[in-house]
Chain A
Amino acid sequence: MTTLLQVIIYGIAVGAVYGLVALGFVLVFKTCGAFNLAQGEFLMLFAFITMSLTNQLHIPFYLSVLITAIFAIVLGFIIERLLLRPMVNQPLMAILMMTMGLALVIKSISLLVWSYHAYRFPTWLPKGELQIAGLALSWDYVASFLIVAVVLIAFAIYFRYARFALAMRAVGEDQMVSQIMGIRISTVYGTAWAFALVVAAIGGTVLGTLTSVNSTLSIFGLFVIPVIIIGGLTSIPGAIVGGIIVGITEKATAMYLGTTLPGFANIAPYILLLIILYIRPAGLWGEKVIERI
Chain B
Amino acid sequence: MLTLNSVEVRYSEVILALKGISFEVPEGKIIALMGGNGAGKTTTLKAISGLLDIEDGDITDGHIDFNDQRLNKKQADEIVRLGIVQIPEGRRVLEHFTTEENLKVGGHTQPTAAVKTKLDNVYQHFPRLKERRHETSGYLSGGEQQMLVIGRALMAIPKLMLVDEASLGLAPLLVEEIFSILKNINQQDKMAILLVEQNVRAALEIADHGYVMENGKIVLDGPAEKLKDNEDVREFYMGLSKLGEKKRFRDVKHYKRRKRWLA
Which of the candidate stretches A2-10, A138-146, A165-173, A215-223 sits at the interface with the other chain?
A165-173
* CB–CB B54/A182 < 8 A: no
Judge if B181 is at the interface, Cβ distance under 8 Å: no
Judge if B80 is at the interface, Cβ distance under 8 Å: yes
* CB–CB B97/A181 < 8 A: no
* CB–CB B54/A180 < 8 A: no
Judge if B35 is at the interface, Cβ distance under 8 Å: no
Could you tell me the distance between the alpha carbons of A240 and B256 in the complex, rounded to whole angstroms?
70
Given A177-B92, A180-B86, A182-B80, A170 contacting B54 (CB threshold 8 A): no
Chain B: which residue is nearest A179 at the CB level? Answer: B76
Judge if A184 is at the interface, Cβ distance under 8 Å: yes
Within 8 Å CB of A167, what residues of B?
Answer: 105, 108
Residues of chain A from 86 to 123 with CB closer than 8 A to chain B in the complex: 88-89
Residues of chain B from 21 to 50 with CB closer than 8 A to chain A in the complex: 49-50
Within 8 Å CB of A174, what residues of B?
Answer: 92, 94
* CB–CB B85/A177 < 8 A: no
* CB–CB A181/B92 < 8 A: no
Interface residues on B, range: 20 to 34
* CB–CB A182/B88 < 8 A: no
Chain A: which residue is nearest B112 at the CB level? Answer: A163
Within 8 Å CB of A178, what residues of B?
Answer: 105
Could you tell me the distance between the alpha carbons of A163 and B80 in the complex, rounded to whole angstroms?
18
Could you tell me the distance between the alpha carbons of A173 and B80 in the complex, rounded to whole angstroms?
19
Could you tell me the distance between the alpha carbons of A99 and B256 in the complex, rounded to whole angstroms?
62
* CB–CB A180/B88 < 8 A: yes
Secondary structure of the A side of the interface? helix
Judge if A175 is at the interface, Cβ distance under 8 Å: yes
Within 8 Å CB of A276, what residues of B?
Answer: none
Residues of chain B from 55 to 85 with CB closer than 8 A to chain A in the complex: 56, 75-77, 80-81, 85
Interface residues on A, range: 20 to 34
* CB–CB A173/B88 < 8 A: no
* CB–CB B106/A181 < 8 A: yes
Judge if A176 is at the interface, Cβ distance under 8 Å: yes
* CB–CB A181/B56 < 8 A: no
Within 8 Å CB of A125, what residues of B?
Answer: none
Residues of chain A from 177 to 211 with CB closer than 8 A to chain B in the complex: 177-185
* CB–CB B77/A173 < 8 A: no
Could you tell me the distance between the alpha carbons of A45 and B94 in the complex, rounded to whole angstroms?
38
Within 8 Å CB of B108, what residues of A?
Answer: 163, 166-167, 181-183
Could you tell me the distance between the alpha carbons of A175 and B105 in the complex, rounded to whole angstroms?
13
Chain B: which residue is nearest A183 at the CB level? Answer: B108
Closest Cβ–Cβ distance, residue A193 to chain B (whole Å): 19
Selected contact of A177 from candidates B53, B88, B101, B109, CB within 8 Å:
B88
Given A166-B101, A166-B105, A170-B105, A179 contacting B51 (CB threshold 8 A): yes
Could you tell me the distance between the alpha carbons of A173 and B105 in the complex, rounded to whole angstroms?
12
- Given contacts A181-B80, A183-B105, 15 further A-B pairs with CB under 8 A are A89-B53, A163-B112, A166-B101, A167-B108, A177-B92, A179-B50, A179-B51, A179-B54, A179-B77, A180-B88, A182-B81, A182-B109, A183-B108, A184-B77, A185-B77
9 contacts between A and B (CB under 8 A): A89-B54, A89-B56, A163-B108, A166-B104, A166-B105, A176-B92, A179-B51, A180-B49, A182-B108
Residues of A within 8 A of B (CB): 88-89, 163, 166-167, 169-170, 173-185
Which 8 residue pairs of A and B lie closest in terms of their CB atoms, listed nearest first? Answer: A182-B80, A182-B109, A179-B76, A184-B77, A182-B77, A170-B105, A173-B94, A177-B92
